[in-house]
A and B are shown apart, each in its own frame.
Chain A
Amino acid sequence: MAAPKPRGDLRAEITAARIAALDLPQGGFTAAARKEALARLQAMGLPTRRDEYWKYTDPTALTAPEAAPAAVLADDEPPVFGALDALKIVFVDGLFDAAASDDLSLAGIEISRLAEAGDIHWAKGLYGTLEAKGQVPVARPLAALNSAAASDGVLIRVTGRAPRPVELIYRHESEASDVILHHFVKIDPQAELTLLESGPGAARFNAVMEVDLGAGARFHHIRVQGRDHHRRAVTHLFARIAAGALFKSFTLTMNGALTRNEAVLDIAGDNAVAHVAGAVVGDAKTAPFHQDDTVFVTHDAVGCESRQVFKKVLKNGATGVFQGKILVRPGAQKTDGYQISQSLLLDGDSQFLAKPELEIYADDVKCSHGSTSGAIDETALFYLRSRGVPLAEAQSLLVLSFLADAIAEIEEAAIADAITQRLEGWLARRR
């Protein structure tokens, strides 16, 4: 099946080796889409560290035929979204856990599982399409690999206002798990959904979520990636956003040897809003920490707003990466594009690598981007201490205040509080 490879072509070799190790699902409504995805993958080839798009992040661990094992963290914290009345869908190392999951029926929303959808399904003709579209102008081969090989995932169609959030919980219990999940979320015009994700997923986790928002639809996405130190993950979020729709995504990353989160947002209808944000805390003391946010926002309609807010706190040799692009297509007038990426380096060993980009083909637009890297504000630290706040607590307060703008992207206060608590826990464990 793999294309004939010239000798010495590293990309072709690793691609062939990876494909050979895949367990490709057969049949079902996705059969044709998977075949196309595999062809895309073969045509593009997997990334290598020579690729410009992977300049700051070595993809080797993500493309290797076998996943490196990752120790399972004994998580002593209560479930992050435990206090929210969410409909829970649980995957344990990628396997759906029916006993731990709630009944999948909920008013205004239709949920099925990719692995169980038969030949006829509303997602037929949609599965993999946003991923395919997101391959231009920059190739995202690991997402094509995902579409071709995903073992399971959820297919969510929202027709009204979902009365409860839906939460996807990814447990990691096996040191050697290598998991590929693919979700498709379709939100009908004017419908609304809050989708939560939590957990490490697997030793190696490749997740794709495609989100198709109809006119005036609203989507709130809050994700907390697991604390397991040695896990590796690559995730892709593809969204198509129709007129007047609202898309909001926030991710908290704590720990993880390697995390690459890509968001590819296509703002296709007028007056739509798309926000993507991330808060990252990494401490490379216990295990390596490398976290990469790669965002590509395309404005292809009039009067739309996009906002990227990424904040990273790095310690003991941790690495944070941000690659963020705003592309304003011809005719996308009155675009308001904003992008900020900042790092707080808690010591001299850590590093933040940022590549902000603007590419604008319309004249009546307002776009800005900024990127900064700094240490803790000593003056503020002294001020707090002079009021009696102990050093460690003062540092935590300042770290949280640094992250505040990213957390402020979460609309629901209860969810923002849950995230803040997690961060407080992480900081307290490092005092």
Chain B
Amino acid sequence: MLEIKNLHVKLEDEDKVILKGVDLTVEAGKVHAIMGPNGSGKSTLSYVLSGRDGYRVTEGSATLDGADLLAMAPEERAAAGLFLAFQYPVEIPGVGNMTFLRTAVNAQRKARGEEEVSAADFLKLVRAQAKMLNIDADMLKRPVNVGFSGGEKKRNEILQMAILAPRMCILDETDSGLDVDAMRLVADGVNALRDGKRGFLVITHYQRLLDHIKPDVVHIMADGRIVRTGGPELALEVERNGYADILAEAI
């Protein structure tokens, strides 16, 4: 479903190469995890896939269900079914969370030639999902992420994901800063979306999230490349021994 081939990326304004040939395929229905040292390029990969400015792809390709992601505007990628849960969710003062959500849902539906959701149906949908994620109604009324705690922001990302129901979900360190209970809620939120048709790319530093979201495949990224790929046991190995052995082996 998501196919990344030999992806090379540098910064637009600087001669700094960040991704140095990433190859990765996520099949429908599968959960892939990416682990790797700080600064290895995990967030960069997620940004490049979702179309953030500031990066230049110098080589390689990325497709979603065969469609060339890199040729699309960020909003087109979203409408095509790509979703990124941000490592650092953005605060938008003055835009209500509900307005934001409804605008996003309707924009995607419009792009796909579907009808807009009615206000009443939308409210019902949001309330139900918010309840599952333990997000109170008050938070929905506030401006997007403004004054939210770190954990609240992450849960808000998952709420958006649940409501937008994307085909391909990328989660960038959604577990960072979450307490144990919140991590469980987030994992439940992700698991609820695992319907055998969606793909997931879960970026994390910790085994703990992977205890709840059982990955099918684990990748290790280092210095802009996937240096090793394995099963869930690879995450356990990282947890036990750190990256040193894996990196030494990769070189």
Contacts and interface: CB of A to CB of B under 8 A. Distances in A.
Interface of A: 377-380, 382-391, 393-394, 397-398, 400-405
A400 B74 contact: no
Contact of B90 (A383, A397, A400, A404): A383
Contacts of B77: 386
A393 B92 CA distance: 15
Contact of A397 (B52, B89, B95): B95
B94 A379 contact: no
Contact of A401 (B78, B84, B94): B94
B75 A385 contact: yes
A391 B51 CA distance: 12
A401 B74 contact: no
Interface stretch (B100-108, B207-215, B223-231): B100-108
Interface centre among B77, B84, B90 (most CB of A within 10 A): B90
Contacts of B79: 388
B86 A389 contact: no
A382 B74 contact: yes
Contacts of B89: 383
Interface of B: 50-53, 73-75, 77-79, 83-84, 86, 89-95, 99-100, 103-105, 107-108, 111, 143, 160, 164
Contacts of B78: 385-388
14 contacts: A382-B51, A385-B51, A385-B78, A386-B75, A386-B77, A386-B86, A388-B75, A388-B108, A389-B107, A390-B75, A390-B107, A391-B75, A398-B95, A404-B94
A393 B99 CA distance: 12
Given A378-B53, A404-B94, A388 B164 contact: yes
B113 to A, nearest CB: 14
A339 B105 CA distance: 37
A387 B104 contact: yes
A198 B111 CA distance: 37
Contacts of B95: 397-398, 400-401
Nearest to A392: B75
B94 A393 contact: no
Given A393-B103, A397-B103, A386 B111 contact: no
Contacts of B99: 397
B203 to A, nearest CB: 15
A388 B107 contact: yes
Interface centre among A383, A386, A388, A404 (most CB of B within 10 A): A388
Given A379-B90, A383-B90, A383-B92, A391 B104 contact: no
A377 B104 CA distance: 18
A385 B73 contact: yes
Nearest to A383: B90
B163 to A, nearest CB: 10
B94 A402 contact: yes
A403 B79 CA distance: 28
Contact of B53 (A382, A383, A398, A401): A382
A389 B94 contact: no
A401 B103 contact: no
Contacts, number: 81
Nearest to A389: B107
Contact of B74 (A379, A380, A386, A393): A386
B79 to A, nearest CB: 5
A100 to B, nearest CB: 36
B147 to A, nearest CB: 15
The 7 closest A-B pairs by CB, nearest first: A401-B94, A388-B78, A404-B94, A388-B108, A385-B74, A387-B104, A383-B90
Nearest to A399: B94
B105 to A, nearest CB: 8
Interface centre among B77, B83, B92 (most CB of A within 10 A): B92
Contacts of B160: 387
A386 B92 contact: no
A391 B75 CA distance: 8
A387 B81 CA distance: 10
A404 B94 CA distance: 6
A137 B124 CA distance: 59
Nearest to B81: A388
A386 B85 CA distance: 10
Contacts of A401: 92-95, 143
Contact of B92 (A378, A384, A391, A403): A384
A135 B108 CA distance: 56
A409 B51 CA distance: 37
Contacts of A398: 92, 95
Given A383-B86, A397-B103, 9 more contacts: A382-B53, A383-B89, A384-B92, A385-B51, A385-B75, A388-B104, A388-B107, A400-B94, A405-B94
B62 to A, nearest CB: 15
Interface centre among A380, A387, A390, A403 (most CB of B within 10 A): A387
A337 B34 CA distance: 53
A403 B95 CA distance: 11
Nearest to B79: A388
Contacts of A387: 78, 100, 104, 107-108, 160, 164
Contacts of B50: 386
Nearest to A401: B94
Nearest to A387: B104
Contact of A382 (B52, B83, B104, B105): B52
A390 B103 CA distance: 10
Nearest to A378: B53
A122 B74 CA distance: 64
Contacts of B94: 400-405
Nearest to B166: A388
A386 B84 contact: yes
